Structure 1
Amino acid sequence: MYKLLIVDDEPQILEGMKRILDWKSYGFEHIETCNSTDAAVSRAIQLVPDIAIFDVCIGKSRGYDAIQRLNEANLPTKYIIMSGYSDFHFAQQAIRCGVKDYLLKPVEREKLQQLVENIIVKELHGTIGNQPANSLRMDPVLGVPYDTLSKLVRRILLMVTTEYAQNITLKSVAERLQMNSTYLGQLFIKETQMKLSEYLMIYRMQRAKEFILSTNEKIQWIAGTVGYNNLNYFYTHFQSYFGQSPSDLREKS
């Protein structure tokens, strides 16, 4: 299992980065955050994270200076810098520290996803979509072990679990896989006994339930977080799937 450290002095950024990807699906079971470079250096030495994401400006400190301190401690951590500034000097300093990439804020989910996948495969010598640790895991929607599914379907499910908050459609998935959408849809139904749109809806409902029961966030925020821009549409799906409203579920918990 992997460990992740996220460092930024803005609480909303820290929370957003924790949610931008389904880190657990990639094997990150331990995620920690820090809001200062001193705390980050101290925690990193204790935690030894596999990946650490630093903001370039943390208060009056610089993320790349903290990374340099950690490099001197010979940590095997792979570093990513994020910044709200497209400043060449910042990028240059980050590169000198050996960071894997310099991402501009707001961080694009797809770019971060590709970067994390590359680090896992090329740097951490892991695999995507068929990790040994996942071989006995059950898919939360289909209720079957992941290793009983084809590589193609596992790849599609990985897209859903990491990008469910985005506008995922059969057409968009087919384009990324360079396949005919009708043919891909038939393959998915044959193996899972449901349409991709149905799988996506159920997965979103499950994540929404988790947020409702584990946070005090407003229902509108939760709806947007799981990919619903239309709140009424979200309520309709939720009521149909769970047989009760989001508010009723929260009140009964």
Structure 2
Amino acid sequence: MDQSNEKTLGGFLRRTLDTQQISNNILAQSTGIAEGTVRNLLRYGIDADAPAPHPHTLRAVAEFLHLNPTHLFRLAGYITDEDVLSNLSPIGEYVGQRFDKLQPDQQKMVLDILGTLEKSSGLPSYGAVILDYIVAGKTLRQRHLTRLEWLDLKISDLLGIRTDQLMLNGIQRRLQDLFPNEAFTPADIQKVADHPVAMAIMSVLLPRKDLPRGLVKLYYLTWFDQDREVPATTREAIIDIWDALQQAVQIG
């Protein structure tokens, strides 16, 4: 196989099938998709005429082949490296992983030390309130659990190639629909997406590792079909979430 093809969805899946000694027919039968769909998958990224695969198809294939579905979404062009790669340095990720292993009282000690270091460096400190806001985020998630669990399942259908500007525009339009008497600018929305406390709340509400960026989380948390009447429960959930995020960005 041409090595350049291995960087495409079709080439990657072909190599995976060959390595696992799985035929097209077995893949089709095991995932419940048509053999023609399998053939199209193996052409995608190599043949310009190959149709784009449905996210549900990619997820089914990933599950059967024991692959990370996020990698398939990236190869298919539904998400970009910027969407999934961490903004943290390797040491930052290490500290975060070790922090989660500590007991609550030990975590508070770490946050207190971090707060002291932040203040001495002239950085805003959120350690005194972050735990309270995370608890508030968990309460908010329970209040709107049905909506958020539905959204988690729906994201596969909503995945697509979107620039930051398109996401900002989409969020702005939705918020304007829900809050007709308020004005929203892309800068206002970006401020919420980038705020550490708001990001912590969004991570509680939508705990998906394949959506690490605040702007992407906010895009999905505020999503609704603008071509249809917004259900009251959806409206209430988004308004509650936005209000909580607005309160968070007032800190620091």
TM > 0.5: no
Per the shorter chain, which TM-score range? under 0.3
Structure of higher CA gyration radius: 2
**Structure with more of its chain in helix, by fraction:** 2
Q: Please report the TM-score for the alignment, with normalisation by the length of structure 1.
A: 0.26
Higher normalized contact order (CA 8 Å, seq sep 6+, divided by chain length): 2
Q: Please report the TM-score for the alignment, with normalisation by the length of structure 2.
A: 0.26
**Structure with more of its chain in strand, by fraction:** 1
